[in-house]
Amino acid sequence: MKKKSLNKKSSVKKTKDTKKKIIVNKNKTNKAGNNIVIKKNNNKNKLCVIFDLDQTLIQTVYEEKGHKQVLRADKNTKYKLFSQRINKEEKLGTIYIRNYSIFLLRYCIENFNVGIWSSGTDKYIEILLKKILPEELYNKLNVIIGRTYYDHKITKFNDIKNDKKFTLSNFSGLPNKNLDFLYENKFYSKIFNHKNTILIDDQPYNNVVIPLNNIYIPPYCYLKNDNYLFDLYLWFKKNKNKNTKNIQKTEKILFYGYNKPTPYPCRLNDYKLIKTNNINVGDIVQYKKENKDKNKNKDKNKDKDKDKDKDKDKDKDKDKNKDIEIEGYIERKNKNTFDIVEYDTDKEEGEMKIYKNIKLQYIKKWILN
């Protein structure tokens, strides 16, 4: 008896239910080794949720050398450290994870089709997602779209999950996530359509481009935790069992008006120099003194004999003639004079030379802006 040969080339797998046909083998991988997970979606009512990444689920901050910065993350903020090669230089950074981010993603992945679409570079978002997500959740994402090129007219994107590249025109010079592309594309339209797809993003202009398929969420700031993603979870849960036939007609959750500013500033907090009488031991200060008599001392040095002893005196005079501008810590306080130990807090180095009995008039204090 001859055995029937199997057609290994075919990627169509028939099941007992003839209505269900997997168009793309879920075990197939792309060049990056990621599972290709776009399948024909027979349940047209199943939601497809696309999340932005930066300022929606996380916030990343790169380490900056040569700048006085303090990252004052709110208490109980989860974070991960990462490194990325940018312009042949290894950059270190911190990923601050918004409250309920992983919880919300897990819930959505278990109940809906879920993808990530970021205006960040494809390599950047791949590094971040693999850092913050368990492997099981990462593998279940339907799309992971990041930027490969940007100018004022167009943005080029790469879907690293499905090895697909595409180009979109910008909106007012900015990259946008026009979901119409997914609906009209032969590959993506297998699961995405205008009735079942919703974008979660912190950029208000997406509400202009895709007003009926977008939920605006206030930008995340690591300085202050919020509960917006839990509110979003409750909204998804409320609508999950309604068998939504058209997401465009579903009442969206609204956080606050688009014309209102972010409720708190989110930026690196720079130090600034101020004149103040409130200076204490341990404060970071700048000691700056200009030698007003340096020109007179230069003339005196010209008239001195050139013997060895006087050369030593000349070197000492040169040091006295120099303008002084150093940074350091207050080591001792005595009424209106201070001792300062020299130290550069940016470079974390210094001679640790002690400057004694410095008057208050020559001192400025570094404070957080």
Residue type present at position 297? N
Last residue of a domain, one of 214, 249, 284: 249
Tell me: do 85 and 151 sit in the same domain: yes
pLDDT digits (tens, 9 = 90+) for 93-142: 889 999 999 999 999 999 999 999 999 999 999 999 999 999 999 999 99
Structural domain boundaries enclosing 113:
30-249
Tell me: do 189 and 245 sit in the same domain: yes
| Residue 258 located in a structural domain | no
Q: Which of 354, 369, 364 is nearest to 286 (CA)?
A: 364
Look at residue 113 in the predicted model and tell me its pLDDT. 95
Tell me: do 126 and 198 sit in the same domain: yes
Tell me: do 184 and 127 sit in the same domain: yes
| Residue 133 located in a structural domain | yes
Look at residue 29 in the predicted model and tell me its pLDDT. 61
| pLDDT greater than 90 at residue 9 | no
| pLDDT greater than 80 at residue 11 | no
Look at residue 205 in the predicted model and tell me its pLDDT. 84
Look at residue 204 in the predicted model and tell me its pLDDT. 85
| Residue 10 located in a structural domain | no
The overall average pLDDT reported for the chain is 79
| Residue 259 located in a structural domain | no
Task: Please compute the mean of the pLDDT values over residues 339-351 and round it to a whole number.
Answer: 76
| Residue 255 located in a structural domain | no
| Residue 311 located in a structural domain | yes
Look at residue 138 in the predicted model and tell me its pLDDT. 97
pLDDT digits (tens, 9 = 90+) for 210-229: 999 999 999 998 888 899 99
Look at residue 20 in the predicted model and tell me its pLDDT. 38
User: Between 39 and 277, whose confidence is greater?
Assistant: 277
Domain holding 130: CATH number?
3.40.50.1000
Tell me: do 170 and 294 sit in the same domain: no
Task: Please compute the mean of the pLDDT values over residues 145-165 and round it to a whole number.
Answer: 96
In whole angstroms, how far apart are CA 50 and each of 33, 108, 117, 334? 22, 10, 7, 62
In whole angstroms, how far apart are CA 133 and each of 140, 160, 226, 355? 11, 16, 20, 52
| pLDDT greater than 90 at residue 206 | no
Look at residue 74 in the predicted model and tell me its pLDDT. 81
Of all residues in the chain, what percent carry a pLDDT higher than 70? Answer: 69
Domain count, the chain: 2
| Residue 8 located in a structural domain | no
Of the spans 39-43, 69-73, 102-106, which averages the highest pLDDT? 102-106
Look at residue 101 in the predicted model and tell me its pLDDT. 96
Look at residue 273 in the predicted model and tell me its pLDDT. 87
pLDDT digits (tens, 9 = 90+) for 256-307: 644 444 444 565 556 788 999 999 999 889 999 877 655 555 555 555 555 5
